[in-house]
Structure 1
Amino acid sequence: MRPTLFLICPVLLFLGLSYLLPFLGIVQLSFTDPQPGLAQYRHVLSDPLTLAVIWRTLRLCIIVTVVSVGCAYIITLLWVRGTPVIRLLTELCIMIPFWISVLSRAFGWLSLLSNRGLINTWLKDAGLIDASIQMTRNEFAVVVGMAHYLIPFAVFPLATAMRNVDERVLTAADGMGASRLRIFWQIFLPMTGNGIIGATLLVFVFSIGFYVTPALLGGGQSVLLAELIYLWIFQMPQWGMAAALSVVMMIAVGGILVALMRRNAETAK
């Protein structure tokens, strides 16, 4: 036990210096700038504009999480249980996005979804539409861009869960006459529940802090928390307000994570 703790201590020290100390500085700033007190928190929790951004962020992050985990489940199913050719193609589709930056992906979606983008151009050339369809500067573009980035991250917890499924259980169900659909819904899906929860946690936490994709694809029409914090720091500036909102966001995300982890632990029992 002691050698393990000795090896972990440098990592804990690095994490403490890299994350904990800066976060404590943010907490202090939230209580002291521009004046000592709770005025920043009262404003964050009562200002209609800030509350609207908070609810929009939570709503979009939930939608992105559902879309990402759902698509990742199908992709992972092909990767883990498909034929060798399908597995190879799926693995390439999972790995290649990691080599492309988030900024390049956002501009790629802009070139596809904008009014003069490829999709609108193809639809016009085919005679299917007369006027361009507005697919950017709205929540639809934000959800598409964020889900595209987060799907590969959801694949790995799901793949681990699927590979740990006991094949003997599936074979026994098949031998007893259960259909493939029933085997999937009543046996395979519940047995991969831990992977679904892990992927959900990972995607949701990542989506809360997104900035580049919503800023570019949303075009200022779908401002999320990270973009609002950026505006308060670099354009207002209101450092105390930005710090207070950051602390509230951290507490909210931490609470959601604890609740989901407890539920996962209860389910495992």
Structure 2
Amino acid sequence: MTARHVLLLGPLLMLLGAAYLLPFLGVMRWSVTLPEPGFGQYHAALSDPLVLGVIWRTVRICAVVTVIAVAAAYALTLIWVRGGRTARTLVELCIMIPFWISVLTRAFGWLALLSNKGIINGWLQSLGFLSEPLTLVRNEFGVVVGMVHFLIPFAAFPLATAMRSVDERVLLAARGMGASRTRIFWQIFLPMTKNGVLGAALLVFVFALGFFVTPAILGGGRSVMVAELIYLRIFQSPDWGLGAAISVILMVTVGLLLGVMMRQNRGAAR
């Protein structure tokens, strides 16, 4: 990197440092100084059954969301990359349009669809399939649905990159040797796109760890995740030290996962 590059990147690095690094250092200071100096808040965060329960719920929900979102994104991306022109255009619109809609609007949209008096329960009851409405929100199901809907487009891009890098000659050679389409997909195409699957899974999981608005609205306070717990500890308890300690733990976890993602991407580029 030349001196010119350093000068060009300098203002951006200073802005990022002022916007992200300084606040994070302040949160770290709170975690070891409030209510008294020491690492007691980290011990409390890792031993409190309530906090551990929220952490386990967050990991479980994020894992389920990751599996569903990546699987759905793989199917959509396969059509986007290898489908017909009309199908590719339709899938591309389905991937791009959600980026124009805010996460808050999407969450309230799912609330209108899934609530006890929402559209889905109303239709099912009017058609005689249900006598009582299904509980589709204010639980983990509603949280998973909202998060999956939001994260599918993010998983599509690394998958599309991996699929477009597949050598078509390999697939044609397998087809010429008599392999069926199913066998080609499971034994050749899918293994050749495994780096894209791993990258998409890591990206979705990292994004899911920090979700706040969707779990707060669709979970209704009954499926609290880590980000919402931090908010409650800092703004409602208030227990700034514990909230800061949980924040630092979350940030370190996300940093480690991002490191794994970057290492995986470097390995795939070689």
Separation in structure 1 between the aligned mates of residue 9 and residue 155 of structure 2, nearest angstrom:
27
Separation in structure 2 between the aligned mates of residue 183 and residue 35 of structure 1, nearest angstrom:
62
Of 104-113 and 196-205, the range deviating more from structure 2: 196-205
Question: What residue number does 1:61 align with?
Answer: 62
The Cα of 1:268 is off from its aligned counterpart by: 7.2
Question: What residue number does 2:163 align with?
Answer: 162
Letter in 1 for 2:172: T
Separation in structure 2 between the aligned mates of residue 5 and residue 189 of structure 1, nearest angstrom:
41
Letter in 2 for 1:59: R
Counting only pairs closer than 5 Å after superposition, residues 102-113 of structure 1 correspond to structure 2 as 102-113=103-114
Question: What residue number does 1:14 align with?
Answer: 15
Separation in structure 2 between the aligned mates of residue 95 and residue 262 of structure 1, nearest angstrom:
28
The Cα of 1:266 is off from its aligned counterpart by: 6.2
Counting only pairs closer than 5 Å after superposition, residues 1-269 of structure 1 correspond to structure 2 as 1-2=1-2, 3-259=4-260, 262=263
Of 212-221 and 257-266, the range deviating more from structure 2: 257-266
The Cα of 1:258 is off from its aligned counterpart by: 3.5
Q: Are the counterparts in 1 of residues 58 and 209 from structure 2 also a CA contact under 8 Å?
A: yes
Q: Are the counterparts in 1 of residues 199 and 261 from structure 2 also a CA contact under 8 Å?
A: no
Secondary structure of the residue that 1:194 maps to in structure 2? Answer: helix
Residue deviations 1:76-102 (CA, integer Å, cap 9, x gap): 011111100001111111111111111
The Cα of 1:255 is off from its aligned counterpart by: 2.9
The Cα of 1:267 is off from its aligned counterpart by: 7.3
The Cα of 1:110 is off from its aligned counterpart by: 0.7
Letter in 1 for 2:122: T
Residue deviations 1:39-80 (CA, integer Å, cap 9, x gap): 111110111000000000011011111111110000101111
Separation in structure 2 between the aligned mates of residue 211 and residue 105 of structure 1, nearest angstrom:
13
Separation in structure 1 between the aligned mates of residue 53 and residue 208 of structure 2, nearest angstrom:
17
Secondary structure of the residue that 2:221 maps to in structure 1? Answer: coil
How has the CA–CA distance of structure 1 residues 26 and 189 changed in structure 2, closer, same or farther, with 3 Å as cutoff? same
Unmatched segments (≥5 aa) in structure 1: none
Separation in structure 1 between the aligned mates of residue 16 and residue 172 of structure 2, nearest angstrom:
46
The Cα of 1:186 is off from its aligned counterpart by: 1.2
The Cα of 1:23 is off from its aligned counterpart by: 0.9
Q: Are the counterparts in 2 of residues 197 and 264 from structure 1 also a CA contact under 8 Å?
A: no
Secondary structure of the residue that 2:130 maps to in structure 1? Answer: coil
The Cα of 1:8 is off from its aligned counterpart by: 3.2
Secondary structure of the residue that 2:98 maps to in structure 1? Answer: helix
Of 193-202 and 49-58, the range deviating more from structure 2: 193-202
Separation in structure 2 between the aligned mates of residue 191 and residue 145 of structure 1, nearest angstrom:
30
Separation in structure 1 between the aligned mates of residue 204 and residue 260 of structure 2, nearest angstrom:
16
Separation in structure 2 between the aligned mates of residue 104 and residue 42 of structure 1, nearest angstrom:
38
Q: Are the counterparts in 1 of residues 81 and 160 from structure 2 also a CA contact under 8 Å?
A: yes
Separation in structure 1 between the aligned mates of residue 172 and residue 96 of structure 2, nearest angstrom:
31
Secondary structure of the residue that 1:184 maps to in structure 2? Answer: helix
Residue deviations 1:20-40 (CA, integer Å, cap 9, x gap): 121111111100011111111
Separation in structure 1 between the aligned mates of residue 257 and residue 93 of structure 2, nearest angstrom:
33
Letter in 2 for 1:160: T
Unmatched segments (≥5 aa) in structure 2: none
Task: Say how many residue pairs are matched.
Answer: 269
The Cα of 1:113 is off from its aligned counterpart by: 0.6
Letter in 2 for 1:39: G
The Cα of 1:253 is off from its aligned counterpart by: 2.5
**Identical residues among aligned pairs (%):** 63
The Cα of 1:261 is off from its aligned counterpart by: 5.0
